[in-house]
């Protein structure tokens, strides 16, 4: 059975677990009524099932290639992208004044979930473009907005994000690309960027690169970085693609997966660029794009987990070994565990999207802080879920999981990078226990109060499950108190397990909500709360151990 986009599951979450209602209750998103949401999810699911999923294997089997300096995409990708563009799917959350639909991220991210499950490597292109639209909308001059936004929003042009250089990965401040004033308001950009997703393609009429670079004499580190728009073709007087800019695709990276997405080494050879935002404020502007993309990458992990889970369940029902393997306890354990994990990760990510929407619609500081707190959790946990579930799906397939023709290995190979790009999951954990706890834990405690209140409300109907969730929230509260009182090094040594534990407890809270709303969801919630939630205790024990044990072994003791 082919991939089926989980519109029904998403709809349930938006109705009962992380409701869309408060979002559509704001003036800004009043058009996002339940009827519209349902119609959009249904249409997006149709696109995913009938257009995107059928080309997913093509990306793996016939990767994007570089031909005479131009990227040629995998068979069927151009037609599939046309359907994305013609359906207006790039424009879902873009500003209405430039042709966008102005809908909430709750819906946009739900669509990314489904698109990622259908064809991850293609979904990455509109995700990058949407991030660029948001960055330009917030930071660019009116002239740049008028020139670029309508074309990006319509999907006629695509956007990319150029941070990484060979010596500047997580430490973006180490980048060396230069931007020298041309004296006419433009800049000459010179340098090499690596790992640029969709740095070139034959899908769109122009490709707009947002590039981080340094002005002459700029301060060292991130403070000296500015942001520039450098299009592949410089728009002419009518705003149409004109003269070719001095930008080259040097090569495509050879990757473990995600072969349908061209990952480019880009050379900027005095390319003409326009500054976006203020000099020296490039990182802040790029963060607008990155935050959006971080949640989009969370959806990538979740979407692939969904697809892998579906494939494994179907295989287990058909494969006969001492009867259908779906009847064996260990196989069933894997399948139910996968399904429960996907639900938890999806609910967390949609809760983050909801907080982003509420924050932008109301400018309420608590919503803004909640969105900021949930972003690293959604990104790291969503992508870990993608890896874990696709790896388990391979196990369910037995030897056939290791054989490429079943396609299940592709899920794992494709999704693996999601834990690495858009800020590695290690960087997400540092962000959580550093900047996101810098408020003394206030945003975290507000979420813990919500979890405890949810457990209290469930005590009458589901006392055992409610008690487990309540007790886990208490343990997490103690660990949070410990975290906020520690030195940075000790927090960081426990950041990754703390993040995972937070996600586990929050996931259990959402499962409990689902079980309260629909008795049919109780079995899945019970599985998660009894079998998966307990892992939070060992994660928190590790989280609270501090840095001493980590540094007790010297590099020499590690074998250097
Ligand atoms: C397929 C693919 C597509 C990509 N697309 C893009 C793109 O479109 N645009 C773009 O600009 N970049 C892109 N990237 C780059 C990506 O964002 C980087 O690979 C990522 O940020 C990590 O940087 P790095 O690879 O240099 O790893 P490093 O920074 O060298 O990290 C190596 C390890 O050290 C850890 N680490 C590093 N610093 C710290 C620290 N201070 N504390 C704790 N741990 C730390 C990391 O977590 C990681 O585990 C892409 C990468 C890939 C593989």
Give the ligand 1 atom nearest the CA of 426: 47
pLDDT of 1 reads 67
pLDDT of 288 reads 78
Q: How many angstroms separate the CA atoms of 486 and 70, rounded?
A: 51
Q: Which of 505, 511, 445 is nearest to 481 (CA)?
A: 445
Specify the DSSP element, H or E, that contains 551.
helix 548-551
- What pTM did the predictor assign? 0.98
Residues comprising the chain, all counted: 560
Contact in structure between 60 and 259 (CB atoms under 8 Å): yes
Name the residue at shortest CA distance from atom 35 of ligand 1: 426
Catalytic residues, which ones?
Answer: 422
Q: How many angstroms separate the CA atoms of 287 and 434, rounded?
A: 17
Report CA(44)–ligand 1 centroid distance (Å): 31
Report CA(499)–ligand 1 centroid distance (Å): 19
Within 6 A (CB) of ligand 1 lie 161-164, 169-170, 195-197, 255, 258, 263, 417, 420-421, 424, 426-427, 430
Partner residues linked to 191 by β-bridges? 268
pLDDT in tens, the chain (560 residues): 699 999 999 999 999 999 999 999 999 999 999 999 999 999 999 999 999 999 999 999 999 999 999 999 999 999 999 999 999 999 999 999 999 999 999 999 999 999 999 999 999 999 999 999 999 999 999 999 999 999 999 999 999 999 999 999 999 999 999 999 999 999 999 999 999 999 999 999 999 999 999 999 999 999 999 999 999 999 999 999 999 999 999 999 999 999 999 999 999 999 999 999 999 999 998 887 788 789 999 999 999 999 999 999 999 999 999 999 999 999 999 999 999 999 999 999 999 999 999 999 999 999 999 999 999 999 999 999 999 999 999 999 999 999 999 999 999 999 999 999 999 999 999 999 999 999 999 999 999 999 999 999 999 999 999 999 999 999 999 999 999 999 999 999 999 999 999 999 999 999 999 999 999 999 999 999 999 999 999 999 999 999 999 999 999 999 99
Strand, coil or helix: 554: coil
How far lies 220's CA from each of 32, 173, 178, in Å?
A: 45, 7, 13
Report CA(471)–ligand 1 centroid distance (Å): 36
Report CA(219)–ligand 1 centroid distance (Å): 23
Query: In the structure encoding, which two tokens stand for residue 394, read together?
Result: 């391979």
Name the residue at shortest CA distance from atom 2 of ligand 1: 195
pLDDT of 287 reads 84
Name the residue at shortest CA distance from atom 26 of ligand 1: 169
Neighbours of 555 (CB within 10 A): 7
Give the ligand 1 atom nearest the CA of 164: 11
Give the ligand 1 atom nearest the CA of 261: 1
pLDDT of 223 reads 94
Name the residue at shortest CA distance from atom 38 of ligand 1: 170
- Report the residue among 170, 379, 493 best suited for mutation to probe ligand 1: largest number of ligand atoms under 8 A from its CB: 170
Report CA(195)–ligand 1 centroid distance (Å): 9
Q: Which of 91, 109, 118 is nearest to 20 (CA)?
A: 109
Contact in structure between 241 and 192 (CB atoms under 8 Å): no
Report CA(24)–ligand 1 centroid distance (Å): 37
Q: What angle do CA 145, 208, 289 make, to 5 degrees?
A: 70
How far lies 437's CA from each of 427, 474, 488, in Å?
A: 14, 17, 11
pLDDT of 548 reads 97
Report CA(165)–ligand 1 centroid distance (Å): 10
Partner residues linked to 214 by β-bridges? 178, 225
Name the residue at shortest CA distance from atom 44 of ligand 1: 426
Report CA(28)–ligand 1 centroid distance (Å): 36
Q: How many angstroms separate the CA atoms of 418 and 298, rounded?
A: 8
Give the ligand 1 atom nearest the CA of 258: 1
Q: Which of 496, 488, 557, 500 is nearest to 532 (CA)?
A: 500
pLDDT of 468 reads 98
pLDDT of 317 reads 98
- Report the residue among 132, 160, 164 best suited for mutation to probe ligand 1: largest number of ligand atoms under 8 A from its CB: 164
- The pair phi, psi for residue 251, each rounded to 5°, is -165, 170
Name the residue at shortest CA distance from atom 6 of ligand 1: 196
The long-range contacts involving 325-334, CB below 8 angstroms and separated by at least 24 positions, are: 325/396, 331/396, 334/392, 334/395, 334/396
Name the residue at shortest CA distance from atom 19 of ligand 1: 421
Give the ligand 1 atom nearest the CA of 170: 29
pLDDT tens digit string along 233-268?
999 999 999 999 999 999 999 999 999 999 999 999
pLDDT of 291 reads 80
Name the residue at shortest CA distance from atom 17 of ligand 1: 421
Give the ligand 1 atom nearest the CA of 168: 26
405, HSE (Cβ side, Cα atoms, 13 Å): 1
pLDDT tens digit string along 17-54?
999 999 999 999 999 999 999 999 999 999 999 999 99
């Amino acid at each position: 059975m082919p991939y089926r986009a989980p519109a029904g599951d998403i709809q349930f979450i938006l109705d009962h677990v992380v409701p869309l209602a408060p979002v559509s209750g704001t003036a800004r998103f009043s058009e996002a009524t339940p009827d519209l949401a349902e119609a959009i999810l249904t249409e997006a699911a149709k696109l995913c099932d009938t257009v995107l999923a059928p080309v997913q294997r093509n990306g793996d089997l016939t990767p994007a290639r570089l031909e005479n300096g131009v990227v040629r995409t995998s068979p069927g990708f151009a037609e599939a992208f046309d359907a994305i563009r013609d359906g207006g799917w790039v424009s879902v959350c873009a500003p209405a004044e430039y042709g966008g639909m102005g809908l909430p991220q709750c819906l946009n991210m739900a669509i990314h979930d489904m698109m990622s499950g259908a064809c991850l490597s293609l979904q990455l292109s509109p995700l990058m473009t949407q991030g660029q639209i948001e960055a330009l909308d917030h930071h660019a001059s009116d002239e740049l907005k008028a020139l670029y936004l309508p074309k990006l929003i319509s999907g006629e042009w695509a956007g990319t994000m150029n941070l990484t250089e060979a010596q500047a990965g997580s430490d973006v401040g180490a980048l060396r690309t230069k931007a020298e004033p041309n004296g006419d308001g433009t800049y000459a950009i010179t340098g090499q960027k690596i790992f640029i997703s969709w740095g070139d393609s034959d899908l769109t009429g122009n490709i707009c690169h947002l590039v981080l670079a340094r002005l002459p004499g700029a301060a060292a580190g991130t403070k000296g970085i500015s942001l520039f728009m450098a299009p592949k073709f410089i728009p002419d007087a009518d705003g149409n693609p004109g003269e070719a800019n001095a930008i080259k695709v040097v090569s495509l990276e050879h990757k473990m997966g995600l072969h349908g997405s061209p990952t480019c080494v880009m050379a900027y050879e005095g390319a003409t660029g326009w500054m976006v935002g203020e000099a020296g404020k490039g990182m802040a502007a790029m963060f607008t794009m990155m935050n959006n993309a971080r949640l989009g990458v969370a959806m990538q992990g979740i979407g692939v987990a969904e697809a892998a889970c579906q494939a494994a369940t179907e295989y287990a029902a058909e494969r006969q070994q001492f009867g259908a393997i779906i009847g064996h306890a260990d196989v069933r354990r894997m399948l139910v565990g996968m399904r429960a994990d996907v639900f938890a990760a999806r609910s967390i990510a949609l809760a983050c999207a909801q907080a982003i929407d509420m924050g932008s619609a109301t400018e309420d500081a608590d919503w803004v802080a909640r969105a900021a707190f949930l972003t690293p959790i959604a990104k790291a946990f969503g992508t870990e879920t993608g890896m874990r579930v696709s790896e388990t799906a391979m196990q369910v397939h037995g030897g056939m999981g290791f054989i490429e023709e079943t396609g299940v290995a592709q899920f794992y190979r494709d999704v693996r990078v999601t834990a690495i790009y858009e800020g590695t999951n290690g960087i997400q954990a540092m962000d959580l226990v550093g900047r996101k706890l810098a408020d003394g834990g206030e945003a975290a405690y507000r979420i813990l109060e919500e979890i405890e209140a949810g457990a209290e409300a469930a005590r009458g109907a589901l006392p055992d499950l409610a008690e487990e969730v309540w007790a886990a929230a208490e343990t997490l509260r103690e660990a949070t108190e410990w975290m906020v009182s520690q030195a940075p090094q000790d927090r960081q040594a426990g950041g990754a397990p703390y993040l995972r534990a937070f996600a586990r407890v929050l996931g259990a809270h959402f499962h409990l909500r689902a079980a309260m709303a629909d008795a049919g969801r109780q079995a899945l919630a019970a599985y998660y709360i009894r079998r998966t939630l307990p892992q939070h205790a060992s994660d928190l024990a590790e989280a609270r151990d501090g840095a001493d044990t980590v540094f007790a072994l010297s590099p020499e003791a590690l074998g250097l």
